[in-house]
Amino acid sequence: MTVSSIKEHKNSSIKKLKEWLESNKISEVECIFPDIAGSSKGKILPVNRFVKSVEEQSLKLADSVFGQTVSGKWVYESEVIDWAKAPHKATSGKTVGIYLGALGYGYNRELLAKKGLPAPKCWNDLLHSAYKDEIMMAYPSTSGTAYTTLASMVQLFGVQGYNLKPADLQGSIGLVQLKKQDEIHYLRRLNKGALHQVFMQIPGCRVVEEKDHAETSWFGCPIIYEGGKHHLVKYLESKGVQTRNYFAGNILMHPAYKHLEPASNYPNASSVLDNVFFLGTSPVITVPMLDYIHEIIENYSKENND
C-alpha cells in the first residue's frame, strides 16, 4: 500500500466517522478508561473537537493505568519484574507492584519565616495547629499522586488496609464546602441570572426558570433553543465557551436500545436532544467571563438576524 493510498483510506474512514456521528445526532464523545480502582477516567469532548483530534492523531489514551488494562484483564506474571512478583503471586494476579516511588512535601523557608512558623521535620508535624489553612495539595480524584499520598497516610497513621475511595474524599471536601454554602449558593444564582439575561437576547431562545415557591442552587443554566440548538452550540464552542447536553433525551436513539421500540414514538424526548443544552454556573465564573459570553451572544444575534 502506497503512502497516498494510506492517506486516502484514512480520509475515507474519517469521512464515514463524521457521517455516522452526524446521522446519530451525537454532539459529545466520552473518551474514558478505568483507573486502578475501576473508576472511569478521561474526558468528554464536543464532537467537533473529537473529530479534529482523530484527524490530527492528537488524542492519546493510555493502554493501561497502574497495571490495570483497559479491558479489565489482569497483568500476566511474565510482564512483571522480579521485585514485584511476590504480591502478584500472593493475590493470584490481582495485584501487582509497578514502581517504587518516594512521597514528600516541600515548603518555602522565606514564607515560613515571614509567618513565624517552624519548619516541619516529618509528616506528623503537619498535624500541628500552626499549619492550619497553610497546606495545599492536588485534588485526589484527579491526581494519582495526591490519591496515593492520602491512602498512604491512612495506612501509616490510621487503620491498616483501609481503602480510601474517592467517595470518602469527596465527602470530606463536601464538609468543607458546606461552610461556604451561602456564598456558593449566592454566586450560582447570580451567574444563572446573568446568563439568563444574555441568552434571552436570541429570538427563539428560552431559559428555564424556577418555580415561584423554589430557591434553586443552579448547577447550570438550562437553555431551550426552539428549532435546533446545534448551530448555536457549535458557535459557542468555536469561541471557547463550553456547553453541555442536558442529562435527558431519547435513549432509544442509542444503537444499544434501538431494538426496544422506535425512537419516533417519543417525539418530546427527541426534542430535548435537539433543542436543550446548558452552560455551567460554577461559583468560580468571573465577571470578565460573563462579559465575554455576553459579547459572543451579541455577535451571534447580529450575524444571524441581519
Q: Is residue 233 part of a domain?
A: yes
pLDDT tens, position by position, 55-104: 887 776 654 444 444 444 555 656 555 655 666 666 666 555 555 566 78
pLDDT in tens, 200-218: 888 888 898 888 888 988 9
| N-to-C CA span, the chain | 51
* Helical spans, DSSP H, in the chain: 3-23, 47-56, 85-90, 109-115, 144-157, 166-178, 181-199, 230-238, 267-275, 287-305
Inter-residue contact 234 to 48 (CB < 8 Å): yes
Q: Are residues 294 and 186 in the same domain?
A: yes
Query: Do 244 and 274 sit in the same domain of this protein?
Result: yes
Residue 68 lies in a domain: no
Same domain, yes or no: 168 and 81: yes
**Cβ(105)–Cβ(120) below 8 Å:** yes
Residue 56 lies in a domain: yes
Tell me what the pLDDT averaged over the chain comes to.
76
64-65 and 68-69 as β-strands: parallel, antiparallel, unpaired? antiparallel
How far is Cα 166 from Cα 38, in angstroms, rounded to an integer? 11
- pLDDT value of residue 248: 66
Which residue has cell 418530546? Answer: 268
Q: Do 169 and 208 have their domain in common?
A: no
Within this chain, do residues 91 and 191 fall inside the same structural domain, yes or no? no
Based on the fold, state whether residues 221 and 296 are members of the same structural domain. Answer: yes
Task: Name, in order, each residue with C-beta under 8 angstroms of 134's C-beta and a sequence gap of 6 or more.
Answer: 115, 117
| Owning domain of residue 19 | 3-61
Note the pLDDT of residue 164: 47
Looking at the structure, tell me whether residues 14 and 95 fall in a common domain: no
Q: What is d(CA 134, CA 114) in angstroms, rounded to the nearest whole number?
A: 13
Domain CATH code at residue 292: 3.90.1150.10
Give me the residues of the chain with pLDDT under 70, please.
1-11, 32-43, 60-102, 141-142, 154-170, 247-248, 306
Distances (CA, A) of 185 to 206, 219, 257, 301: 23, 10, 38, 31
Q: Are residues 124 and 174 in the same domain?
A: yes
Pick from 49, 32, 50: which is nearest to 41 by CA?
Answer: 32
Question: So what's the pLDDT on residue 190?
Answer: 92
Q: How many CB atoms lie within 10 A of CB 100?
A: 7
Q: Is residue 70 part of a domain?
A: no
Whether residue 202 is found in the same domain as residue 269: yes
| pLDDT value at residue 1 | 35
- Is position 67 within any domain? no
The secondary structure element, H or E, covering residue 223 is strand 220-225
- Structurally, how many domains does the chain consist of? 3
Q: Is residue 71 part of a domain?
A: no
Q: Looking at the structure, tell me whether residues 89 and 146 fall in a common domain.
A: yes
Q: Are residues 38 and 148 in the same domain?
A: no
Name the domain boundary from 151, 178, 205.
Answer: 178
Q: Which of 178, 193, 221 is at the close of a domain?
A: 178
Domain identity same for 186 and 294: yes
